A = this chain, B = another copy of it.
Amino acid sequence: MKHLIDPMDLSVKEIDDILKLSEDIIANRETYSSICRGKKLATLFFEPSTRTRLSFEAAMLELGGSVIGFSSADSSSAAKGESVADTARTIEKYADIIAMRHPKEGSSKVASLHVNIPVINAGDGGHNHPTQTLTDLLTIYEIKHRLHSLTVGFCGDLKFGRTVHSLIKALSRYDNIKIILISPDELKIPSYIREEVLQKNNIPFVETTDLENSIADLDVLYMTRVQRERFFNEADYIRLKDSYILNLQKLNHAKEDLSILHPLPRVNEISTEVDHDPRAKYFEQVEYGKFVRMALMLKLLNLK
């Protein structure tokens, strides 16, 4: 493991190692607080993503390292026409590891081919966002203490949500997983996920439009945003959107130990009244995202 571009680049064993290391970091914060002393992370964010950027930066600071970078393309040399490869080769002289966000698919891959320091894909267009997938896996693992034998519901925009696709792919490698896919017809899971991932791996799955009647069986509910602009017309959007808003009333039917996840930011797809329910885990998930990035950077830097 030299770079992390696609979450499926990681074997189950490598994921397991990262999760185990994350756990050790959580349990022994002080031990890790200066392990990256003298190391520099470069956060190259060609499009803004505050949450992801600050998660990486907090992670490196908590390891005792430091950070340089930029938070949008305006302030980068890209505006002068520099290629991603040249930017990466330049940054390689300044930093020890790169986290790159770019609107264009494959950008992190290109960067990784030109440098000798690790490159982490922090999101490349609608393509991959592997540290979100690691975040989701660590959250489930920490709360459920397993990644197998789980019934996991995905709700909302299953068509365009790259975090959903990646997490389904990742979970498909564990035993005894059931998947419930809850979305309006307009936003159903793409057929390649259905065929190439779920059917191919013999994962039992159900497709439904009904959140309320699907919630009872779930161990994990992964919520995503239903964006207005995904619909052909406003009338459909208004008719459908309430069905995919999670509130306390819909939670009445859920298990006591359901875990509700969301990659955030949310707009209104989870009512704020849910925030105080002990099943709401999406802010804990934010913190697991920091820990798993700490673990990942230590692995890529060969410090663990």
Please, which residues of chain B bring their CB within 8 A of the CB of A54? 42, 68-70, 90-91, 94
- A69-80 CB mask vs B (1 if < 8 Å, else 0) is 111101111011
- A51, chain B: closest CB distance, angstroms: 6
| A273: Cβ under 8 A from any B Cβ | no
Q: Quick one: which of B40, B75, B80 contacts A58, CB cutoff 8 A?
A: B40
Please, which residues of chain B bring their CB within 8 A of the CB of A272? 85
Interface pair A68/B76, CB less than 8 Å apart: no
| A112: Cβ under 8 A from any B Cβ | no
**Cα distance, A138 to B68, chains bound together (Å):** 24
Given A51-B77, A76-B48, A267-B81, does the pair A90, B58 have CB atoms closer than 8 Å? Answer: no
Please, which residues of chain B bring their CB within 8 A of the CB of A208? none
Given A266-B86, A283-B93, A290-B94, does the pair A75, B55 have CB atoms closer than 8 Å? Answer: no
**Cα distance, A62 to B77, chains bound together (Å):** 23
Interface pair A75/B80, CB less than 8 Å apart: no
Q: How many copies does the complex hold?
A: 3
- A54, chain B: closest CB distance, angstroms: 5
Please, which residues of chain B bring their CB within 8 A of the CB of A93? 58, 283, 286-287, 289-290
Interface pair B66/A50, CB less than 8 Å apart: no
Interface core residue of A62, A286, A287, A290 (most chain B CB under 10 Å): A286
Please, which residues of chain B bring their CB within 8 A of the CB of A51? 77, 90
Given A93-B283, A94-B54, does the pair A75, B76 have CB atoms closer than 8 Å? Answer: no
Given A48-B74, A50-B77, does the pair A58, B94 have CB atoms closer than 8 Å? Answer: yes
**5 new A-B contacts at CB < 8 Å, known A54-B69, A55-B94:** A33-B38, A50-B76, A57-B68, A77-B265, A82-B265
**30 CB-based A-B contacts, threshold 8 Å:** A38-B62, A40-B58, A40-B61, A45-B75, A48-B74, A48-B75, A49-B77, A50-B76, A50-B87, A51-B77, A54-B68, A54-B70, A58-B94, A61-B66, A61-B68, A70-B71, A72-B75, A77-B265, A82-B264, A82-B265, A82-B266, A82-B267, A85-B272, A86-B266, A89-B283, A90-B283, A93-B283, A93-B286, A93-B287, A93-B289
What 7 pairs between A and B have smallest CB-CB spacing? A82-B265, A58-B94, A93-B287, A48-B75, A71-B75, A93-B286, A81-B267
